[in-house]
Amino acid sequence: MDYVKNRFERIQKPVEKILKSNGVIKPPVPVERIALARGAQIRYVPYEGEMSGMLAREDGSIIIGVNALHPKTRQRFTIGHELGHLELGHLDVLYESGLHVDRNFRNFRSTPRREIRRDELSSQAVDIAEIEANAFSAELLMPMQMIERDLRKYGVDPDDDELIHDLARKYQVSMQAMTFRLAKLTENLMLKS
């Protein structure tokens, strides 16, 4: 339980700091503006296949690549996810090449560079860096304090499709992301009691 609590705090504390420093007090969280404020450039590219995004350090700049073909809600989650890799130090510690790719990716630049592709293990969400980056994005786009405030207002029913739809629209995330977030928060509330 302490391990889970420490991992949660490792993600929640930096997100709270980012939201506070950017003056974000209500949804939707301006994830693009936050990424730009953190020094990242965002590039929307029509990647083929299932590639969602990538994070790279190029000539001293941080670049977040986002699949321009994905829905806006998915793009927002991808930006949050890649920002999570950046903020949690994954790019420096785990990806010494300065490049991290989510899903299949080829030919980011024309000059030779070692590629890192997600393998079967990481796509099954058992890769700790991927789990942390997903949790970071969920916390950034759907901050626990904001969601809890909304749930106090509307009531807690993670099976209420109308509630999930309304919250997903309010936070500009997918129904799937909101469903998962509500289930996780409900689970955490039950563990606390």
Please list the pLDDT of the chain residue by residue as tens digits (193 residues).
Answer: 454 556 667 899 999 999 999 999 999 999 999 999 999 999 999 988 888 999 988 888 899 999 999 999 999 999 999 999 999 988 776 555 555 556 533 333 322 232 333 334 434 555 888 999 999 999 999 999 999 999 888 876 767 899 999 999 999 999 999 999 998 887 765 545 5
Q: How far apart are CA 39 and CA 125, in angstroms?
A: 28
CA distances to 10, 77, 118 from 182, rounded to whole Å, are: 20, 16, 27
> pTM for the complete prediction?
0.82
Q: Where are the domains of the chain?
A: 2-141
| 2-141 is classed CATH 1.10.10.2910 | yes
Beta strands in the chain (DSSP E): 40-45, 53-58, 61-67, 99-102
